[in-house]
Structure 1
Amino acid sequence: MKSKAFKMYLKPGMEEEYRRRHAEIWPELVHQLREEGVYDYSIFLDRATDTLFAVQKTRGGTGSQEMTDNALVRRWWDYMADVIVVEADNAPVSEELPELFYME
């Protein structure tokens, strides 16, 4: 098991739309993430800065942010491009966060 944490950036005023889209996440995307080894995934919001903080637990080393060649993941990124800050190719602007502490 490996934990990955990263931050992304919500566009101002888009909290409810972001929440709505994730409440209706595509079942095939969930299946794909699980197939790639992501078995636990949470996203939190710092409302003061519109920063999204994500934590994924994976069986292996691949997290969603490394799935740049996966067509389904890319389609989700295209779908979310109007509510989060993205790169030119619609990949989320994402910064991996180093783990400094883990309590077993």
Structure 2
Amino acid sequence: MEKYAWRGKIVPGMQEEYKKRHDNIWPEMKEVLADAGIVNYSIWMQGEELFGYYECEKGVEYAAKVQAESNVVKKWDEYMKDILIMEKDPVTGAQPLLTQVFSFR
């Protein structure tokens, strides 16, 4: 199973709103993530900094493709753009993949 990690930033002062929106994530957004083969998805926050991690049952490329083609994801991105500062990969439209340098089981 491939792993995907990303980082981002929250607009200053919008941490509670970011958390609130994720506490109320849309069911159709969860469905897209499941369709993309994304499991064990977690996001951590420290101040304005975000770190996200998920595993891709069908591979990173497949997960990126499903999300890039999803109108729900486009709608979510639009919904979040006022509180989120997120660099996007110009090829995939997703957050740039972080390079894994260590793993311990």
Q: TM-score range by the shorter chain?
A: 0.7 to 0.9
2: CA distance between counterparts of 1:84 and 1:11?
6
1: CA distance between counterparts of 2:64 and 2:17?
21
1: CA distance between counterparts of 2:84 and 2:95?
10
| Paired position in structure 1 for 2:90 | none
TM superposition score normalised by structure 2: 0.82
Q: Does the CA-based 8 Å contact 1:4-1:63 persist in structure 2?
A: no
Residue 52 of structure 1: which of 50, 53, 63 is its match? Answer: 50
2: CA distance between counterparts of 1:25 and 1:39?
15
Q: Does the CA-based 8 Å contact 1:56-1:63 persist in structure 2?
A: no
In the TM superposition, residue 3 of structure 1 has moved relative to its aligned partner by 1.0
CA RMSD of superposed structures (Å): 2.2
| Paired position in structure 1 for 2:96 | 95
Structure 2 alignment gaps of length 5 or more: 88-92
Q: How does 1:10-29 map to 2 (within 5 A)?
A: 10-29=10-29
4+ residue runs over 6 A deviation: none
1: CA distance between counterparts of 2:49 and 2:96?
11
In the TM superposition, residue 69 of structure 1 has moved relative to its aligned partner by 2.3
**Higher helix fraction (1 or 2):** 2
In the TM superposition, residue 46 of structure 1 has moved relative to its aligned partner by 2.2
Stretch moving more, 35-44 or 92-101: 92-101
2: CA distance between counterparts of 1:66 and 1:74?
11
2: CA distance between counterparts of 1:52 and 1:63?
20
Q: Does the CA-based 8 Å contact 2:68-2:94 persist in structure 1?
A: no
State the percentage of identical aligned residues.
31
